[in-house]
């Protein structure tokens, strides 16, 4: 009979607490994004913004041959809606208490189906999609080692490592860009139709120094994030809190709610491997 993970928090190892918290956060984000997709079926219709008839023209393999027929079946309605519904089901299974085997299958499916969604369209794809793949793959792998704490620690270390590298790389890409150093990058983002916010955009245009300061704070915070693994507890907590606040602000002003859930899901692993935040 399958074992169900219902241990009280006080009886769980530190690594298992981190993995469980990661499960909750990543699955909540996927549930939200799946519901959003299901509420906008017109986006994936032939005349929609994410039409597969247009998306498949990126590669001849997607248009011709047997593979093309499989892709057409999977990536056009109702196939794409079925895939989304299956992701909703799998993420719910990962969120709720359940057997290790069921959770392993759910996490593996979420990682694999996210790769399929990336294949379907690269329009609108962002860092949160890659984080979802990394986290779900690591969660699935952790379920194969129920009696090996070191292996489960390796899975959380992988998540934590990917998290700090992602932040540092994003900050480095910004700091070498003159548009982020002079503030015009921030002004440009908030003037776009997709990510813009009129009031914020007008404020940044009116006060260029504020746009520059905001841009510098973004890349400086991203490049400093790896210090969460080594810095004293107040600084490490401050970096994690700043990260959550940053993504919450992006969700509120830019509509990037997937970033909030995806990157926050890596924080339990970062805290677990932090020199001064590790529990138990």
Q: What is the pLDDT of residues 128-183, one digit of tens each?
A: 899 999 999 999 999 999 999 999 999 999 999 999 999 999 999 999 999 999 98
Asked whether residue 35 carries a pLDDT value surpassing 90, the answer given is yes
Asked whether residue 20 carries a pLDDT value surpassing 90, the answer given is yes
Asked whether residue 7 carries a pLDDT value surpassing 50, the answer given is no
The band of 47, judged by pLDDT with boundaries at 50, 70 and 90, is confident
Average pLDDT over residues 59-64: 80
The band of 279, judged by pLDDT with boundaries at 50, 70 and 90, is low
**Token pair of 94 as six digits:** 């990962």
Q: In percent, how much of the chain has pLDDT > 90?
A: 63
**Token pair of 178 as six digits:** 């003159």
**Token pair of 106 as six digits:** 């759910």
Asked whether residue 3 carries a pLDDT value surpassing 80, the answer given is no
User: What local confidence, expressed as pLDDT, does residue 2 receive?
Assistant: 41
The band of 1, judged by pLDDT with boundaries at 50, 70 and 90, is very low
User: What local confidence, expressed as pLDDT, does residue 4 receive?
Assistant: 42
Q: In a 10 Å sphere around its CB, with 0-12 CB exposed, 13-18 middle and 19+ buried, how is residue 182 labelled?
A: middle
Q: Where are the domains of the chain?
A: 10-273
**Token pair of 269 as six digits:** 């692993």
Of 119, 106, 107, nearest to 80 by C-alpha is 119
Of 182, 142, 199, 118, nearest to 15 by C-alpha is 142
Average pLDDT over residues 187-214: 83
Q: What is the pLDDT of residues 217-270, one digit of tens each?
A: 999 999 999 999 999 999 999 999 999 999 999 888 888 889 999 999 999 999
Q: What is the pLDDT of residues 71-90, one digit of tens each?
A: 899 999 999 999 999 999 99
User: What local confidence, expressed as pLDDT, does residue 89 receive?
Assistant: 98
Whether the Cβ atoms of residue 190 and residue 196 lie closer than 8 Å to each other: yes
The whole-angstrom separation of Cα 102 and Cα 263 is: 24
Asked whether residue 280 carries a pLDDT value surpassing 60, the answer given is no
The whole-angstrom separation of Cα 67 and Cα 240 is: 44
Asked whether residue 8 carries a pLDDT value surpassing 80, the answer given is no
More confident site: 195 or 174: 174
């Amino acid at each position: 009979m399958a074992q169900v993970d219902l241990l009280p928090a006080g009886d769980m190892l530190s690594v298992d607490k981190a993995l469980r918290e990661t499960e909750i956060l990543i699955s909540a984000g996927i549930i939200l994004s799946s519901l959003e997709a299901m509420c906008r079926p017109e986006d994936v219709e032939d005349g929609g913004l994410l039409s597969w008839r247009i998306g498949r023209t990126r590669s001849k393999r997607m248009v011709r041959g047997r593979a093309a027929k499989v892709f057409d079946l999977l990536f056009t309605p109702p196939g794409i809606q079925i895939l989304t519904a299956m992701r909703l089901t799998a993420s719910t299974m990962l969120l709720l208490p359940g057997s290790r085997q069921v959770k392993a299958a759910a996490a593996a499916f979420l990682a694999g189906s996210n790769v399929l969604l990336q294949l379907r369209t690269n329009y609108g794809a962002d860092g949160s999609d890659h984080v979802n793949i990394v986290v779900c793959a690591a969660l699935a792998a952790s379920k194969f080692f129920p009696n090996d704490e070191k292996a489960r620690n390796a899975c959380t270390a992988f998540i934590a490592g990917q998290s700090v590298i992602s932040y540092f790389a994003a900050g480095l890409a910004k700091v070498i860009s003159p548009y982020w150093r002079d503030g015009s990058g921030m002004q440009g983002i908030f003037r776009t139709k997709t990510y813009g916010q009129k009031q914020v955009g007008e404020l940044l245009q009116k006060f260029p120094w504020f746009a520059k300061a905001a841009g510098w704070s973004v890349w400086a915070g991203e490049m400093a994030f790896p210090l969460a693994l080594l810095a004293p507890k107040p600084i490490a907590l401050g970096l994690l809190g700043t990260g959550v606040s940053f993504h919450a602000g992006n969700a509120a002003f830019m509509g990037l709610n997937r970033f909030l859930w995806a990157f926050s899901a890596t924080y339990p692993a970062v805290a677990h491997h932090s020199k001064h935040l590790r529990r138990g």
